[in-house]
Amino acid sequence: MSLSYKARKRLSLLILLIGLPLYIAAAWFVLSLFERPGILLELGVYIGLGILWALPFRAVFKGVGKADPDDPGA
C-alpha cells in the first residue's frame, strides 16, 4: 500500500522533528559509553550512523519537496 503525498509529507515532518533528535541522542549516548576514539574515527562513526538512519526512510522522503502530483490546480 502506497502512502499519499500528504501522508508522506506529514510522516517525513514527524520523523525529522521527533525521530531525528531521538536518534542523535541515542547515538551520542551509545558513543559516550566508550572511551573517546580519535576525531576521524568518531566522525566516521557519526557519518555512518547518519547514513544508516536515513536508509529505511528513503521512500518516505522521496518527492516530498516537489509539488503535489495529485493536486489538480498545480
What is the per-residue pLDDT across 11-21, written as a single tens digit (0 to 9) for each? 999 999 998 89
- What pTM does this model have? 0.71
pLDDT at 2: 80
Q: What is the mean pLDDT of residues 23-33?
A: 87
Domain ranges of the chain: 5-61
- Cα–Cα distance measured from residue 36 to residue 34, given in angstroms and rounded to the nearest whole number: 6
pLDDT at 74: 58
Mean pLDDT of the chain: 84
What average pLDDT does the segment 47-60 reach?
86
Q: Is the dihedral of CA 4, 10, 16, 20 positive or negative?
A: negative
Q: Please give the full DSSP string across 43-57, using - where no structure is assigned.
A: HHHHHHHHHHHHGGG
